[in-house]
A and B are shown apart, each in its own frame.
Chain A
Amino acid sequence: MKGWRESLPKWGVILLAGVLSLAIGSVFILVVGGNPLAAYRQLLLVPMSSKSGFGELLTNMTPLLIAGVGMAIARSAGLTNLGGEGQIYMGALGMFLVCSSDLADTVGKPVLLLGAVVAVAFGAFWGSISGALKAFFRANEIITSLLLNYIAVNFIGYLIRGPLQEPSGMVPESSKIGEGLRLAKLIASTRAHTGIVLAIVLIVLYEFFIYRSRVGYRIRVLGGGEKAAVYSGIPIKWYHLGVMALSGGIAGLAGGVELLGVYYRLTETMAGDIGFTAVVVALLGMLHPVGIVLAAMLMALLNTGAQFMQVISGVPITLVDILQGLIVLFVLLGLSFQLPQLKRKEG
């Protein structure tokens, strides 16, 4: 449980960071010969005001929110999971295997429950590798999780060129899953799907798990300092292992949902940058459930609006990467300026 009072000044920092990064971003737009006001209108307002834009926004937001929760759980324990990418691919693989099995043909839609379990299990397995290396060999989870991404993406690359390739053998991708298994559309003639409902449920569960349960409390103690965790009787190694597995499992679920709601097949580009952006979502959201939703929305907005901006104003899409970078930079800068004030002692 975190008081809103404590978080408030931080929200101010984030707002200021947004304004500053837009200001600096406009310099870049001017440099490439665009009109900053028009570009920002397409970047920020069009996705919110048009049906197709809003549909795209929700589509982009769903995996960010799910994976963001996974990354936030790792951060709560003081761990940084940079392996979201790989865990998403593994989760998508798990979901695909279930959906393309004979079982799916006979059972129909309820098989998705099994699919979700397998997607979580695949992601959790991938995350727990880093967790185990951390717990038992003191290997830095940032590095191991990052490097495991390459193994996962290349493993998928092998599968969709070999055993799982679509029958014609022309393109490096799998065949599509059955239409009956796909997630229902939320808004007609857009890509938005019901996965966002799952994401919202997940964020509520996150609040209860991390801020209201004993295990979540212990995860936060571990994030607050290992010494205090030892003092509290927390078995640190098992928590490292478990938290990385849980974090990876949720990222895996994001992969499964992407497969069911957007791509319907395995490709080697489906994770995009979701795994990394999700880390940014968790940090920007300051591990707070509402913060995570807002951060996921902002990142999705930037990604969605970028497409409109490029088409209408001819401002290159890479500018959005610059903006995202600037926002993260300014927020971190702003928060670090705040820290010294927090350190004073009460009289």
Chain B
Amino acid sequence: MEPLLEMRGIVKRFGSATVNDHVNLTVYPGEVHALLGENGAGKSTLMNILYGMYQPNEGMIRVRGKEVEITSPKVSLAAGIGMVHQNFMLVDTFTSAENVFLMADRPFWSLTRKGQVAGELTKLSEQYGIEVDLTSPVSKLSIGMQQRVEILKLLYIGADILIFDEPTAVLAPQECDALFEIIKKLVANQKSVIFISHKLEEVLRISDRITVLSRGRVVEDTANENLDQAKIVEMMIGEAFRTENVEKTHQTRQEVVLSIEDVCAADSRGVQTLNHVTLQVRRGEILGIAGLEGNGQDELMDVITGLRRCSAGRIAMAGKNLTAASGETFVREGVGYVPSDRNNVATVRKFCLYDNWLLRRKQRETGHYLHYRKIIRDTEEAIAAFDVRTSGSDAVTENLSGGNLQKFILGRELSKEPKLLACSNPTRGIDVKASWAIRNRILQAKEDGMAVVLASGDFEELLYLSDRILVLYKGMIFAETTPEQTTVNQLGSMMMGVKPV
């Protein structure tokens, strides 16, 4: 069978670094091809080349046997290559049909009308079993539905090769199942799917072939037969890897660190998304917060760390009332925070690392005059201790890969020896090895007596780390459970507002 897509000997260099080193990738029609690798292994660069964002230094790309030079995303689309991005490329106030119409980018004299587009979309959605609401504005659709709009959009334009960039990161388990059904229908119709994910069980479940990248090279290109997670991890990092190396105990201590009562808060649009939440966190305890995006956990995390004022209720840290306190007071009282937005919230992108080392530090620690010699020394110690791979403490922060940046941020927050550590999706989009390093650090912090609040969309992480789990649904605590009492699927149902039977 003739391959649909061939990438041959792709080389991409940035300055002296070779990010893709003679990479080959062959995708056949009707195939789900998984692309695996740690952060910085070169996956995104390879996909950006395929998508026309970067030009390779060497190598060529053939689509249906014909060589193409992909100079822009437009050329890529015209060649039948489409990408379902992690952040959807949709105009919120437009309906699905309008979004597709916009993307189709017809010349202004075209006679195609929106109505026709909607008709064709209905046909396509029936053919592939993709349920979408074509008439409501995209902002009113669920995340899963928006993703389906993206897929439909690419199909309408005529894409044969669909790249899914971590498509399940934002989905509940049940929505994942629906997505996988759609992917199966796609390949049954001789489309090809390139599937990028850090979740190995998904990759094993859905893909036909697996290509593993490491340090810019293809280290494995194999059919998905007789593989398990351990084998894949071994391919990715080239060594057998033990996942659980911190003993987990349930020695929760008695002292309550954080106590919030009846707390309400509004999101940035002014809509109240957190409704009368009451909870307590004790020393030496990890409290897991589960919830689908938009069910109030972002606001909850911001409220307990002082980034957002609550509109009602009471907040107390170690007995001290912080209800109307300033953000600075939270910092002073020892609230560490690893927010989910590493690039814009937890760091200043254009600062070098030692400048970011000072972020969210209390004045008693830094003093009024900054002693940079000591600051640089501390930064370098943390870089070494937390295995942050970078050129040094003067590296510009935005040049760090996600995993390394997150290790740096966690190292910084732990260095403040906070009483309470709040972590929001600490391992989202981070490779396996760095994820486990981060999880074990969090576990260690708990063993050392820190109180930890962990909000995460990764169920296995929640079940592995938490002592207790609260499920948020529509801004309220829908259920409380423990890892021993629940499973991934039960957790998923509760997040969608269904009590497990």
Contacts and interface: CB of A to CB of B under 8 A. Distances in A.
B410 interface: no
B40 A347 contact: yes
B14 A344 contact: yes
A215 B369 CA distance: 9
Given A214-B366, A214-B367, A214-B368, A346 B359 contact: no
Interface string B49-72: 000000000000000000000000
B48 to A, nearest CB: 11
A228 interface: yes
B395 A346 contact: yes
Given A227-B341, A344-B14, A347-B215, A212 B346 contact: no
Contacts of B358: 217
Contact of B345 (A231, A235, A346): A231
Contact of A346 (B329, B341, B372, B401): B401
A235 B389 CA distance: 33
A62 B346 CA distance: 40
The dominant DSSP class at the B interface is loop
A345 B359 contact: no
Interface string B194-219: 00000000000000000000011000
A221 B359 contact: yes
Nearest to A236: B327
Given A232-B359, A233-B328, A342-B398, A213 B346 contact: no
A213 B328 CA distance: 17
Contact of A228 (B347, B352, B394, B404): B347
Given A215-B368, A227-B345, A231-B360, A347 B216 contact: yes
Interface in A194-230: 212-215, 217, 220-221, 224-225, 227-228, 230
Given A342-B398, A347-B216, A230 B369 contact: no
B40 A3 contact: no
A1 interface: yes
Contact of B349 (A225, A230, A347): A225
A212 B370 contact: yes
Contacts of B415: none
A231 B307 CA distance: 6
Contact of B339 (A224, A225, A231): A231
B473 interface: no
B306 A233 contact: yes
Interface in B134-178: none
B459 interface: no
B330 A225 contact: no
Nearest to B366: A214
B396 interface: yes
A230 B348 contact: no
A250 B345 CA distance: 31
Contacts of A233: 306, 326-331, 360
Specify which of B42, B216, B399 lies most central, judged by the most chain A CB atoms within 10 Å of its CB: B399
A232 B399 contact: no
Contact of B391 (A215, A225, A235, A346): A346
A225 B328 contact: no
B74 interface: no
B463 interface: no
Interface string B301-337: 0000011000000000000000000111111000001
Interface string B359-380: 1100100111110100000000
A224 B346 contact: no
B355 interface: yes
B400 interface: yes
Contacts of B398: 342-343
Contacts of A345: 40, 44, 399-401
Specify which of B337, B344, B348, B396 lies most central, judged by the most chain A CB atoms within 10 Å of its CB: B348
Specify which of A5, A224, A233 lies most central, judged by the most chain B CB atoms within 10 Å of its CB: A233
Contacts of A235: 326-328
A220 B347 CA distance: 12
B114 interface: no
B180 interface: no
Contacts of B368: 213-215
Interface in A97-129: none
B401 A347 contact: yes
A230 B345 CA distance: 8
B350 interface: yes
B369 A228 contact: no
B346 A228 contact: yes
Interface string B81-117: 0000000000000000000000000000000000000
A212 B372 CA distance: 8
Nearest to B308: A230
A133 interface: no
A221 B372 CA distance: 16
B89 to A, nearest CB: 19
Nearest to A3: B394
A228 B409 CA distance: 13
- 4 shortest A-B CB distances, which residue pairs? A224-B348, A233-B327, A233-B328, A233-B331
Interface of B: 14-15, 17, 19, 40, 42, 44, 215-216, 306-307, 326-331, 337, 339, 341, 344-352, 355, 358-360, 363, 366-370, 372, 389-391, 394-396, 398-401, 404
Interface of A: 1, 3, 5-6, 212-215, 217, 220-221, 224-225, 227-228, 230-235, 342-347
28 contacts: A1-B355, A1-B370, A1-B372, A212-B369, A212-B370, A213-B369, A214-B366, A220-B355, A221-B351, A224-B348, A225-B349, A228-B345, A228-B347, A230-B327, A231-B360, A232-B331, A232-B359, A233-B360, A234-B327, A235-B326, A342-B399, A343-B398, A344-B14, A344-B399, A345-B399, A345-B401, A346-B40, A346-B390
Given A212-B370, A346-B400, 19 more contacts: A1-B355, A6-B352, A214-B367, A215-B368, A220-B348, A220-B355, A221-B348, A224-B351, A225-B344, A228-B346, A231-B345, A231-B346, A232-B327, A235-B326, A345-B40, A345-B399, A346-B395, A346-B399, A347-B401
